[in-house]
Amino acid sequence: MVYYESSQLLIRDMVPADAEIITKEEIAQGWHQTIDKYLTRLKHRDQGLCISLVAEYEGHVAGYINVYPKSIEGPFGNKDLPEIVDFGVLEKFRRRGIGTALMDQAEKIAAGYAGIVYLAVGLHSGYGSAQRMYAKRGYIPDGTGVWYGNKQCVPYAEYTNDDELMLYMSKPLHRE
C-alpha cells in the first residue's frame, strides 16, 4: 500500500528486501545493528499487530517507521493506545523532509485508532535530533520518568545510558 507520494518521496508498506537494505546501511553508518529488529516488525505486521512503513527518496530506501495500534509496552501499554516504534532516517538522507513525512503518516494512522499517540525516545546523544523533532511536534514527557528495558526505572538506581534507556512521550491527535 502507498501512503504518500510526491515527485521525490514515496511512503509505502515495508517489504523483506527493505530490512536487508536498512540493516546494511545502518551498519555502514557505524550502528550496532542486526536484521532481527526489522524481521520482527515484519512478523508483527503479518500478524496484524503493526503497520510498518518505508520511505523511498528518489527510488532509494531512506527511512522507516512502525505504528502499533494497540501497544502492550510502556506506561500506555494495554490501554488501547497506538505507539510509534523504531523510527529512523538514514543519515545520508536526512534534512530532506523524510522524517517529517514519515511522522505525519504515522500520526495519521494512529489517529484512526485513538486521540493520543505515544512513543519512547532514547536519552543518549545519538537520539538528539529525534528528541528535538518530537518536542517540536508537540510530544511531551508522560510523567512516568525514565524506563530501561521496558521497565520503569527505580529512583536513584544506576542504569547504562544505552539504547534501552528511554523516556516515553505522548501527543494528542486530531481525529477526523
pLDDT at 176: 62
Percent of the chain at pLDDT exceeding 70: 99
pLDDT at 175 over 80: no
DSSP conformation class of 153: P
Determine how β-strand 151-152 pairs with β-strand 140-148: antiparallel
By the 8 A CB rule, do 2 and 12 touch? yes
Grade residue 1 by pLDDT with cuts at 50, 70 and 90. very high
pLDDT at 70 over 70: yes
CATH number of 59's domain = 3.40.630.30
Q: State the Cα–Cα distance between residues 12 and 94, nearest whole angstrom.
A: 18
Q: How many domains does the chain have?
A: 1
Model-level pTM greater than 0.75? yes
Q: State the Cα–Cα distance between residues 103 and 105, nearest whole angstrom.
A: 5
What is the mean predicted confidence (pLDDT) over 127-152? 95
pLDDT at 174: 82
pLDDT per residue as tens digits for the range 97-125: 999 999 999 999 999 999 999 999 999 99
Handedness of CA 23, 24, 26, 27 (dihedral sign): positive
pLDDT at 152 over 80: yes
pLDDT at 170 over 80: yes
pLDDT per residue as tens digits for the range 27-38: 899 888 889 989
What is the mean predicted confidence (pLDDT) over 155-174? 95
Taking 3-state DSSP, the helix, strand and coil percentages for the chain, each rounded to the nearest 5, stand at 30, 35, 35
Q: Please choose, from the candidates 4, 164, 1, the residue with its C-alpha nearest in 3D space to the C-alpha of residue 100.
A: 4
Range of the domain at 27: 2-172
